[in-house]
Amino acid sequence: MAGMVLQRTARNVSAASVEGSCSLTGAVAARVMAGKQTLAGFDWARVGKAAKGKFSCMINNIPVGGPYSISLRINGKNKEAGIEEAEFVHDVWVGVVWVLAGQSNMEGVGWLEHSLKPVAQVRNFYMDNTWGIARDPLHNLWCAHAPVHNADPTTSRKAKDRRWGVGPGLAFGQDMFKTTGVPQGLLACAHGGTTMEQWDPARKNLGGQSLYGAMCERVRLNGGAVRGIVWYQGCSDANPQASKLYAERMKKLVASMRKDFRNPRLPVAMVQIGRFFFGSGNGEDWNRIQEEQRKLPQTIKHLAVAPAIDLPYDDGIHLGGDGQNILGRRLAQSMRVLIDGKKAGPLPIEVESITGDLDIRRFLYTVTVTFRNVVGALQAKGEPSGFNHAGQPNKVFRITLKGNQAILMVSGIESELLA
């Protein structure tokens, strides 16, 4: 497809599977050009075959970079001898391809005033199955090709007079390009308001009628290989029933993606959901999702979790466009560490330990929260906040930051403090 990015191999060349319909039977040949120059080894090289109305071929060994133009032709036999079928695709790149999936915060609900300036080498496979330079909104559900994205009338999206649409995907792609110099391809697959049950891999056989099936189809249309998954979901599972199943459902989802995308070590960079400020949502279930997400790297290898709890919002449940851009860079850093290890730097900040000291005489409990992966020292604009005593709100009356530690002063009676 015009404008697309093909996933590179470990040798920094393409290895893309291409298939389609045709009327001829015979060999498929390819010519690849960079500008006006034909690439060595690609002056009508044989790459596949055509038979019974179908053709398939492998576009291998095109170097990282672009843009390239690719011509395919079939010289074969049918009822009219000498007929040739040909196809020409321009603006093709070879680089790194990522899946963006999850619900509304990945789809993008931040104000467009915070949208980043597009970069030609960062591309997006929009939901109408066309490639283009990546610019927000990446997820154009209002003209999605897969039926699953049009099934719910409450998620109808209009492009006209649109004011919002920033998610973390664009900042992620641009940061990855900035640090690697390699073209980036984003496959937009998210859909707002969706649950883990709706993303169940068991629905793959429904194809475009299911979220998982539609995601797999989008990967197949683009050569069948991706470098990793960027995931932001969990808000819709913050209820008494679904929150208890979240961890197991994530394990199943990650295992299925790794199987279907043919990479048992496929890296997954995901978000720990942030805060919410409206409705009658159960805070306990919201916190349960956050905690289950925080612990996932302990049970799922090659998975990292980036926090969002400190980022600004544009409404009561969605990150602001400025917050999404920060989050996109955090996810990019997480992905670099998953791929390159410690030489890429630290993973996102996370809790290392929690210790406490009880002073019965003053009804005072000092809690020390120690974090790992802190770059420099913990900082806050103004008075530090964000901590509370579970089940006993408004008990943390002072927070002091010291290096990689937050020291909490908690008041209350002995029974509360020891709960």
From CA 53, how far away is CA 55, in angstroms rounded? 7
pTM of the predicted model, to two decimals? 0.88
The per-residue pLDDT for 417 is 47
pLDDT tens readout for residues 151-177: 555 555 555 556 889 999 999 999 999
pLDDT tens readout for residues 221-268: 998 899 999 999 999 999 999 999 999 999 999 999 999 999 999 999
Please check whether residue 95 is in contact with residue 183, taking contact to mean a CB–CB distance below 8 angstroms.
Answer: yes
Please check whether residue 386 is in contact with residue 406, taking contact to mean a CB–CB distance below 8 angstroms.
Answer: no
The per-residue pLDDT for 79 is 46
Dihedral (Cα; 360, 418, 392, 386), 10-degree rounding:
90
From CA 200, how far away is CA 177, in angstroms rounded? 31
The per-residue pLDDT for 161 is 53
Give the rounded distance of the alpha carbon of 331 from its chain centre: 8
- Per-10-residue mean pLDDT, the chain, length 419: 91 87 89 93 91 89 94 71 72 96 94 95 96 95 91 53 87 97 97 95 96 96 93 93 96 98 96 76 81 95 94 83 95 96 87 81 81 89 77 78 91 55
H/E stretch holding 97: strand 84-102
H/E stretch holding 328: helix 321-340
Instruction: Return contacts of 325-328, CB within 8 angstroms, 24+ apart.
Output: 325/114, 325/116, 325/166, 325/168, 325/170, 325/171, 326/171, 327/168, 327/171, 327/271, 328/167, 328/168, 328/169, 328/170, 328/171, 328/172, 328/173, 328/174, 328/175
The SS3 assignment for 212 reads helix
Give the rounded distance of the alpha carbon of 53 from its chain centre: 36
DSSP 176: H
Instruction: Measure the CA angle with vertex 248, ends 99 and 351; round to 5°.
Output: 80
The per-residue pLDDT for 362 is 62
